[in-house]
Structure 1
Amino acid sequence: MCRTGHSAPEPGDEQDVDATDAVFTSLLEDSAEELYEQAPCGYLSTLMDGTIAKINTTLLGWLGLDRPQVVGRMRFADLLTVGGKLYHETHFAPLLQMKGEVSGIALDITAAGKQRMPVLVTSKVKTSEDGEPLLIRTTVFDARDRRAYEAELLRGRKAAEEARRRSEADRLRLQEALAVLQQSLLPAQLPAVPGLEAGSYYHTASPDLLGGDFYDLFPLNDGRWAFFLGDVCGKGPQAAAVTSLARYTLRAAALHDEDPTTVLSTLNTVLHDRYAAGDGRYCTAIFGVLQPDGDHTDVHLASGGHPSALIQRADGHADYLPTPGGLLVGVLPQAPFTAARTRLLPGDTLLLYTDGLTEARTGPDRELYGDDALRAFTTAQPPAGPQALITALSGLLTSFGDGLDDDTALLALGVPATLPDPASDDLT
């Protein structure tokens, strides 16, 4: 017989379906229970007073306890360390009561063997349909790996801070050593010259690098005095070596022949012979001789590629002493140097400087300070002698801020406006 439509289930079929559903439901319950018990985190449920009503195998394993020891006998706070209990009572529990849920709170439980185990705890209050709190469900995450990571991170930070501190200490020691070495390349103080005044100043652009600027003032024969100021190309130990060589060469050459052009020629020969075969080293320099004579001092100087000296006269006028055509010292085997002469009268000051002063960047457009600005600045200063001019110029250098990116040396020599009368000295 042919049938159309769906056939009605036989009586035996209904029993089979019911049995299958029962098995499936049982499997789901078993799976959920196994997942609860063997989860990678700890689970527990507590009454509202904290008494533990249910706890999974994972958390029991961490605690090293059996279920009968815990369920109905211990409260959640009993699982915590002393510090954990204190934090639970003062922060965790009140916050849970107010909000009904707290998440990711760091606590410590007392694990097996009385070991402290860091955990992260999340708790939520389960309520009835009418809002009455029934129990608290809590999840406990193992935070040992995280705590170890944080400890390692903290150690790393401490190590980095210690390395930074040591680096800073080393940098300060290096700066101190460089400062001592820099001072050894300059006179500790200028000597007292009868009938003259002198002042000097040295600005270091970078305390981490040796500069190449140098100057000196020292006696010759028959009451004459020699002076020089120069600027070595470059910075660092190589520049310092050239600076030291230049200073001692100039002093030695002046004692042999004090003519300024001859002295610079000797320095040129020494530098060229020493450095021509390798990395060329050269400098700019002015060398001069002072001849005090009564109420005035005659000056004879020569320049090798150095900025011209500036003279501030007693009447307030200031202008340069031209020395054109002088070549850098040490570039060629034979080099021309330009000589000049002048006379300093009472109240006059001769200023020598390195190009860090005139090449400083100023203003919003970072323009070069320049020769004209220096002459105008000097003219605006009262003619009060070398030290007063040096003080004014050091203040000017400070005002440049980061626009002054090169070392700068200043040397000022002058005749006092009023010379002391030797006959007025008291004799005892």
Structure 2
Amino acid sequence: MTTRPSPSSPTRPADETARLAAVRRYRILDTPPDGAFDRIAALAARIFDAPMATVAIVDSDRVWFKATHGLDGIAGTGRDPGLCASAILHGEPYVVTDAVDDARALAHCLVRGDPGVRFYAAAPITTADGQRLGTVDVLDTRPRTATDDQLDALQDLAALVMDELELRLSAIRTVAAERERRAEAERLARALQRTLLPPALPAVPGLRTAAAYHTASAHEVGGDFYDLFPLDDGRWAFFLGDVCGKGADAAALTSLTRYTLRAAAIYDPDPCAALANLDTVLKGEYQGNSPRYCTAVFGVLRPLPDGSFAITLAGGGHPSALALRADGTVQAISTAGGQLIGMLPHPQFVQTTTRLSPGDSLLMYTDGLTEARHPDGSMLGEEGLTAHLAATAARSAEDLLASVEVLLQHLGEGVSDDTALLALSVPARPQNRTQEYR
């Protein structure tokens, strides 16, 4: 059986543009070797008792071999007519019994050069919409014929290649859809996260402020929060905390917590009263459901005539704030004993006071920072954070946060939870000019 174009036959399919689009659609060109296609080539050679076989894809100007058997070192050929390039012009098996008798095949590089092909048989790899991507071929260095059973088997192998390409394409599309879904989830998470945090901190006269939020996962909305806002009497309120959970439930709880604390501060700016108010709201909102709780530190800033700030700070189950003094020491502003907000029947909140003098700064953080782990598995802890801050001796709020961000980068994958940071600092007084020139 020999199928061969007549001298007047075209050298390319009638709708080459659509065929090439189909080749591109399956994204097979120049992909690494694949065992499934290698086995098909080997099986084709065995069925024909032939020394060589290929799974070939016909590109715009080349024939690329996805798989070869017995053609070591040959990855493809030019798109010369006579073999693969001619075979895709037909919807049925294409056979050259002796290339010496076929003018087109005789000019092909695999015929006139190594390995000196004389016999060639191919079945087209055809898509469901009739586009022929390439062929499954067998080649021999001696002239011969092919039986109908062999050609039927070759067509079955070409159909198996097409099935494999469809499976690959389906997998590629599934992965692409999953990536798009994840990307969209990340976009939504980032957008929702932004609504739970102030877009920018307000300017406080005589005070430097800085805040940052580091997410452990781009796919989920975290539950850490912070805020800074003015009160009616010239004081300023601030808070930072962490709600339980992740995702939409945590986002709803974060939103409720943030706006409750703002409202509570306006009603009664006493820090312990604000936390108690939040505790009442959370218990009322989630009554009868799974308990929803948070930790938080709430503070009030009062400017003093000498440029310092008096701070009243209350904590509910939250890590201690750290004060970096002008002399380089690091002091924990402890609210130890403060209990979780929204969890216990009668929680206790602990209040303390401190003073930020010129050259001092204050850092508040969520436990995603201190619970982060070093590469050796050890936890950073408050002691590790204190040592880091003492070594860097940062003074301004911006420098303080930059120092912590360097630490977070160093910890890398050891940071497994979201981290919110809020820093306050009082600028140091300029030195007396007389002292400068002594």
Give, in angstroms, the shift of residue 106 of structure 1.
5.8
Give, in angstroms, the shift of residue 326 of structure 1.
0.7
Contact 2:224 2:243 in 1 (8 A): yes
Q: How many residues align?
A: 331
Contact 2:105 2:111 in 1 (8 A): no
Contact 2:99 2:111 in 1 (8 A): no
Give, in angstroms, the shift of residue 92 of structure 1.
4.6
Residue 42 to residue 271, structure 1, CA distance change in 2 (3 Å): closer
Structure 2 residue corresponding to 1:162, chosen from 173, 180, 185: 173
**In 1, distance between residues paired with 2:412 and 2:208?**
29
TM-score when normalising by structure 1: 0.71
Contact 1:195 1:419 in 2 (8 A): no
Residue 144 to residue 345, structure 1, CA distance change in 2 (3 Å): same
Residue 107 (structure 1) aligned with residue 122 (structure 2) = yes
Aligned letter for 1:121? Answer: V
CA RMSD of aligned residues (A): 3.0
Residue 318 (structure 1) aligned with residue 330 (structure 2) = yes
Residue 328 (structure 1) aligned with residue 340 (structure 2) = yes
Contact 2:321 2:362 in 1 (8 A): yes
**In 2, distance between residues paired with 1:199 and 1:417?**
17
**In 2, distance between residues paired with 1:311 and 1:122?**
81
Render the CA deviation track for 1:250-298: whole Å, top value 9, x for unaligned. Answer: 0001000000000000101111122241111100000010001121100
Q: State the SS of the aligned residue for 1:362.
A: coil
Structure 2 residue corresponding to 1:222, chosen from 223, 233, 248: 233
The aligned counterpart of 1:58 is: none
Q: State the SS of the aligned residue for 1:168.
A: helix
Contact 2:303 2:310 in 1 (8 A): yes
Give, in angstroms, the shift of residue 119 of structure 1.
6.2
The aligned counterpart of 2:98 is: 76
Q: State the SS of the aligned residue for 1:342.
A: strand
Q: Quick check: which has more Rg, 1 or 2?
A: 1
**In 2, distance between residues paired with 1:367 and 1:193?**
38
The aligned counterpart of 1:261 is: 272
**In 1, distance between residues paired with 2:97 and 2:252?**
79
Report matched runs for 1:62-211 at 5 Å: 76-77=98-99, 85-86=104-105, 89-92=108-111, 94-95=113-114, 97=116, 107=122, 120-123=137-140, 125=142, 136-139=143-146, 141-142=150-151, 143-211=154-222
Render the CA deviation track for 1:189-229: whole Å, top value 9, x for unaligned. Answer: 10000111111111000000110100000000221000000
Aligned letter for 1:123? Answer: D
Q: State the SS of the aligned residue for 1:400.
A: helix
Give, in angstroms, the shift of residue 87 of structure 1.
8.5
Aligned letter for 1:311? Answer: A
Residue 347 (structure 1) aligned with residue 355 (structure 2) = no
The aligned counterpart of 1:279 is: 290
Contact 1:269 1:333 in 2 (8 A): no
**In 1, distance between residues paired with 2:402 and 2:115?**
71
**In 2, distance between residues paired with 1:193 and 1:416?**
12
TM-score when normalising by structure 2: 0.69
Contact 1:275 1:281 in 2 (8 A): yes
Residue 96 to residue 398, structure 1, CA distance change in 2 (3 Å): closer
**In 2, distance between residues paired with 1:137 and 1:106?**
10
Aligned letter for 2:140? Answer: S
Q: State the SS of the aligned residue for 1:267.
A: helix
Give, in angstroms, the shift of residue 372 of structure 1.
0.8
Residue 106 to residue 220, structure 1, CA distance change in 2 (3 Å): farther
Residue 87 to residue 328, structure 1, CA distance change in 2 (3 Å): farther
The aligned counterpart of 2:420 is: 409
Runs of at least 5 residues in structure 1 that lack an aligned partner in the other structure: 1-40, 44-61, 65-69, 110-115, 126-135, 421-428
Runs of at least 5 residues in structure 2 that lack an aligned partner in the other structure: 1-46, 50-91, 125-131, 432-438
Residue 384 (structure 1) aligned with residue 395 (structure 2) = yes
Contact 2:93 2:122 in 1 (8 A): no
Contact 1:212 1:239 in 2 (8 A): yes
Aligned letter for 2:208? Answer: E
Residue 327 to residue 106, structure 1, CA distance change in 2 (3 Å): farther
Give, in angstroms, the shift of residue 161 of structure 1.
1.2
Render the CA deviation track for 1:59-98: whole Å, top value 9, x for unaligned. Answer: xxx889xxxxx9xxx9634998x9xx54983215644549
Aligned letter for 2:230? Answer: P
Residue 301 to residue 285, structure 1, CA distance change in 2 (3 Å): same
Give, in angstroms, the shift of residue 145 of structure 1.
1.5
**In 2, distance between residues paired with 1:219 and 1:370?**
32
**In 2, distance between residues paired with 1:191 and 1:97?**
81
Residue 360 to residue 119, structure 1, CA distance change in 2 (3 Å): closer
Residue 155 to residue 291, structure 1, CA distance change in 2 (3 Å): same
Aligned letter for 1:107? Answer: A
